[in-house]
Amino acid sequence: MSKKVMEKSVDLFDRTFLGGTLFSLDKLLNAMALAFPEFKDELKKQNITVQMKIRDNTYGRLIKFKNGFVTGKKGIFNDADVEMIFENENIARKVMLGEMYGDTVEFVNAAKAGSLVLNGEDEKAMWFSSLLLKVFAFDVLYMHNYGTKLPNGEMRYVTGTNGGPLFVYVKDDKVVRVTPIDFDKDDPEPWSITARGKKFTPPMRTTAAPYAMGWKSLVYSPDRILYPMKRVDFDPNGERNYENRGVSGYERISWEEALDIVSKEIVRVRQTHGPGSVFHTSGSHHTWGNCGYYLSAAKRFFNCLGATCAALNPDSWEGFAWGAVHHYGGSARNGGCEPYSTVEDCMKNSDMIVFWSSDPESTAGVYAAQEGTIRREWVKKLGIPVVHIDPYFNSTAAFMGGRWIAPKPGTDAALAIAIANVWMTEGTYDKDYVEKRTLGFDKWEEYVLGKTDGIPKTPEWQEKETGVEARVVRALAKEWGKKKVYLACGGITSFGSAGRTAYGTEWARAMVCLVAMQGLGKPGINFGGLQYGTPLDTHFWFPGYADGGFSGDYIGSGAGVQLYNRMPQSPSVNSENQLIPRLRIPEAIMNKEAEANHLGVFSVHSQFGKVKYPAPGHSPVKMYYKYGGSHIGTQPESNRFAKMYRCDSLEFVVNQSIWMEGETKFADIILPACTNFERWDIGESSSSGGYIDKTFLQNNHRVIFIQHKCIEPLGESMSDFNIFQAVANKIGLWQVFSEGNSEYDWVKRYYKSTDLAKKISWSQLLKKGYYVVPPLPENRRDPVAFSWFAQGIKKNTPELSPLPSEYYGRYNEGLQTPSGKFEFEAQTLKRFDPNDEERMPICTYIPSWEGTNTKELYDKYPLQLISPHAKYSFHTMGDGKDSNINDIEQHRMLINGYRYWIFRMNVKDAQDRGLKQGDIVEVYNDRGNVLCGLELTQRIPAGIVHSYESCADYQPLGEPGNSVEKNGCINNLTPSRFITKNAHGLAVNSCLVEVRKWKGESK
């Protein structure tokens, strides 16, 4: 057969296919309408004609919708409401077949090339395109064929949360209960670790954090925003009354009015002021799900608009990002370390675990519910001794036992350096390793031994700073020097409150220097406390929420690393390059300038570059499109935000939020978002991806799940996706935002792109809800983190980072440092500024700018406040909102009918001030005054006080920003000063306060 004949045959086939498909389309739609009344209702929504055709008009068919009935006729007609034009028959066939089989690459190609065009009024075109997609989703949309039906009539669905996945039991469109997931007999056998003659296997179930167990009460919270709202004294066409933000009440408006105001404001502001004028931020943590997450839906939406964004700081691990990274690399993880197979190595080979500013029992690592708890119990069973270094006798220490050492906040580096001093003095470190694998040890040694400044950094030296007896530090150093030790910093490795103090960089640096001295990566010597690094299958490909979802943002999310070759989607880019350093948002808005170093992930040295606001050629921010209420409560010196909202430089503020709380109350228009129980999504338990690659290695099982739409959205609330779509529609962005897909369609596309599709069918996943990835056989487990480095071989752990150009010698050999060695004297810092006294090339102890050494301030405010991540709420999630979490007596304290945030104080400090258990106290300093309920405890030494960060609501008793706050907004008190001058990091745990009994509001 000649080539020509062959081509002709293909054309004929394609044309027959197209003709056949379009011929049957009207019949199919009518048949579906007959079977499903809801679909019939959908058909009735538009009376329009649609011309589907080949561009050259050689074939066409007109589809007519009238009163819910569909007819079709062959031919080309010129008066259709909507036109769907394919470039040729071949493209039409490929796109249609692709849609049928869930392969969207031909669709994306055709759309990008203009080979598939949809013309017509937005509303009509959009309706038709979504109607076609509904055909492929009819079993879910109209038959509700998903979830597991139980004998008692309840349906069991699955969702994901920030604290573990849940079964969701539903009856009559109401959530009955949520529970952790107990696996069934079809789920795979878990892994085992045999250590010291004992075999350990995790149970076949997931766990839930308290804030996951409280979710039903959050769905049905009385603080849910159920309708679009407008501030009563906000008139977009008249007086806006900026100064009344946070004071005035709200009135219900229609979605139509809300969308009209928001879309018109976006256009007005952008046309009047130009690029940069619209500003968007979210909290760090959205409701769970890879498609609905802010790094997916919001990212795509604001890329479509063009917006100023926030330059983020890694506020859970500042010290590592701005400090430790210079010694051992890891910029892709913002200074975090590898986790691989450390659980097994620790259990088998280590003789001791030091938990330093590490409380995974409270923080769940991050997202990992109570997954690590059982491993901490195994440590007890193995009899591995543990030590806890933390000013607070934290929950991990309470559960595990072991010696508690409580340095004064911000002095941890001194304690660590004194340990190094003992090792150097006594020669109890791995000299061979230091010689072969490290650089610049002599420089650090000179400082530690006091050769440079005449002050040997002995245990006795540190006692004056830390308050910890020299005897204790020396005993710890001696034991550590003799043993193989795992060092856990923060809940997940490389986190920790101590890294959020003034010069907390030095603590994190000291941590990595200590482990390097003992032989990082040798058996039993590594980072971690069994929270991270379980022997799960890292090769099964399913990305995390930070890997971009359907954002199409290959630059601003992890999509460029993870999704680009797997999930076809049209790319999206933010054309505006104006950023505001997150810690300076209020200053940027109020003073119209801000500047900070900007942490990049591609290299270590990129953090020396700065973000300057406003960016050249950009407008200062005029409109703030905020998601949720959590900056107030989580950001240092939160009162700044209250002041910012009330200034006139923000012409318009819209807040898209689930609940009325925090800064939501400062918006002009509030758009009601629904929870993840009320929308479709897909995700994996505790898998963020992005900055924390393979986060799921905190789990006992890789549990990947569909997130069913368990119930209909409450009131008039809508999913974030649908809200963004609705705003996008108003600006003509509908196809650009979603490619015409619904969130359900995107979830299905996402599924198709992952390894999940190879293991479980879509219908099975829809029914069962989750899939457990079988662990690999023991002989295929990943190599232990950094073991390749200790052995001097090529990096063999399963990750793409660092980038090839970050190796200055041969690729894949050594660490991400200029020398490839562990650098005690960091060449990156030396090159940047060898005389930066706030961050020298070697790790030093620098007394805090707000601590016991700052005499004048300390005399006035003699209590050191630490405010670590909360145990019972996940930042603001779970707190307030009248949720069940508030009933936890260690979360809030009921006094006179009000649930006060808890403030913890040593009995002695309380006695000195005439305070007693259950008092309402006013905690104050120059930055603010906050009311709390007083808990007396021996969990904190005298002179130090403790209260978790992140209450959800903000309740000033007078003028917002300038009055006593009642709901426990501890971050009103914390400093917004940078951790060190050349870093954009926070230091909230360097905070001096005083406390007095609250005399009442009349005072």
Positions that interact with another protein (CB under 8 A): 151-152, 176-180, 182, 207-210, 213-214, 216-217, 220, 361, 369-370, 373-374, 377, 385, 393, 395, 398-399, 401, 403-406, 460, 469-472, 474-476, 478-479, 872, 882, 884-891, 906, 937-941
**By C-alpha distance, which of 247, 190, 212, 65 is closest to 646?**
247
Per the residue annotation, which of 142, 146, 157, 285 is the catalytic one?
285
Smallest gap from Cβ 342 to another protein, in A, equals: 21
CA distance linking residue 444 with residue 847, whole number of Å: 18
Asked if the bond preceding 802 is cis, omega within 30° of 0, the reply is yes
Smallest gap from Cβ 938 to another protein, in A, equals: 5
The reply to whether 315 belongs to the active site is yes
What would the DSSP string read from start to end of 713-746? PSTT-B-HHHHHHHHHHHTT-HHHHHTT--HHHH
CA distance linking residue 697 with residue 538, whole number of Å: 8
Which residue type sits at 204?
M
* 430: its two tokens: 């791995």
Smallest gap from Cβ 537 to another protein, in A, equals: 23
What does DSSP assign to residue 308?
A: B
CA distance linking residue 787 with residue 435, whole number of Å: 17
Per the residue annotation, which of 187, 315, 359, 745 is the catalytic one?
315
**By C-alpha distance, which of 188, 242, 391, 179 is closest to 867?**
391
Per the residue annotation, which of 146, 250, 545, 645 is the catalytic one?
545
Nearer to another protein, 460 or 716 (CB): 460
The reply to whether 545 belongs to the active site is yes
CA distance linking residue 505 with residue 843, whole number of Å: 9
CA distance linking residue 71 with residue 77, whole number of Å: 14
What does DSSP assign to residue 877?
A: B
Q: Are 871 and 656 in contact (CB under 8 A)?
A: no
Nearer to another protein, 386 or 420 (CB): 386
CA distance linking residue 35 with residue 4, whole number of Å: 45
Total residues found in the chain within this entry: 1003
CA distance linking residue 591 with residue 597, whole number of Å: 18
The reply to whether 553 belongs to the active site is no
Q: Are 129 and 85 in contact (CB under 8 A)?
A: no
Q: In this structure, what are the phi and psi dihedrals at residue 134, rounded to the nearest 5 degrees?
A: -65, -25
CA distance linking residue 187 with residue 167, whole number of Å: 15
CA distance linking residue 736 with residue 833, whole number of Å: 45
* 504: its two tokens: 């907390």
889 contact partners, CB below 8 Å, separation of at least 6? none
Q: At what angle do helices 122-136 and 37-44 cross, to 10 degrees?
A: 160
Nearer to another protein, 200 or 786 (CB): 200
Smallest gap from Cβ 533 to another protein, in A, equals: 19
Within a 10 A sphere around the Cβ of 24, how many other Cβ atoms?
12
Smallest gap from Cβ 466 to another protein, in A, equals: 13
Nearer to another protein, 319 or 941 (CB): 941
Nearer to another protein, 937 or 963 (CB): 937
Smallest gap from Cβ 319 to another protein, in A, equals: 24
What does DSSP assign to residue 153?
A: S
Smallest gap from Cβ 391 to another protein, in A, equals: 10
* 4: its two tokens: 């020509």
Q: Count of alpha carbons within 13 Å of 24, Cβ hemisphere only? A: 8
Smallest gap from Cβ 45 to another protein, in A, equals: 35
Smallest gap from Cβ 784 to another protein, in A, equals: 26
Helices (H), 522-564: 559-562
Give the catalytic positions in this structure: 285, 315, 545
